[in-house]
Amino acid sequence: MKRYQTPLGRVKGLGSAHAGSVSWLAQKVSAVVLALLFLWFAFSFASLYGKSFEEVLFWVGTPMNTVLLVVLVVAGIYHAILGLQVLIEDYVSKTCQRIVILSAMRVILSVIGVAIVWAIIRVGFIVSTMMMH
């Protein structure tokens, strides 16, 4: 079998890591999930046009809408992390700088995602307790 790798590449172990296909597939699956959830969100939210603040809160607090909104946010943050990771890995050449930027990006997006999910769940609990009384 003929080897197309240079001797230096063989010594350094550079070449395909055989790990890109999992990330690629995860990004494609999250894109499909996001497309479906965005269609649901766009049509559902459009139906709220002209409604009062309380009616919008009630819509967010409905259990199905709460769960779907949380899934939309989590899938969006996950998809953003995967996409930005590819960009950073491709365009930041210095390893130390790349690691710092990747770590900061993951932390920042994770904090934003947790804050949004917490807000959605909080609204859901507030609405459910209002309905009980």
Summarised one tens digit per residue, pLDDT across range 96-117 is 999 999 999 999 999 999 999 9
Domains, in order of start, for the chain = 17-131 (1.20.1300.10)
Tell me the pTM.
0.82
Backbone angles phi, psi at 81, to 5 degrees: -60, -45
For residue 67, give Cα distances in angstroms to 10, 52, 82, 103, 126: 49, 22, 22, 28, 15
The reported pLDDT for the residue numbered 11 is: 61
**Number of other residues whose CB lies within 10 A of the CB of residue 117:** 16
Distance CA 84, CA 101 (A): 10
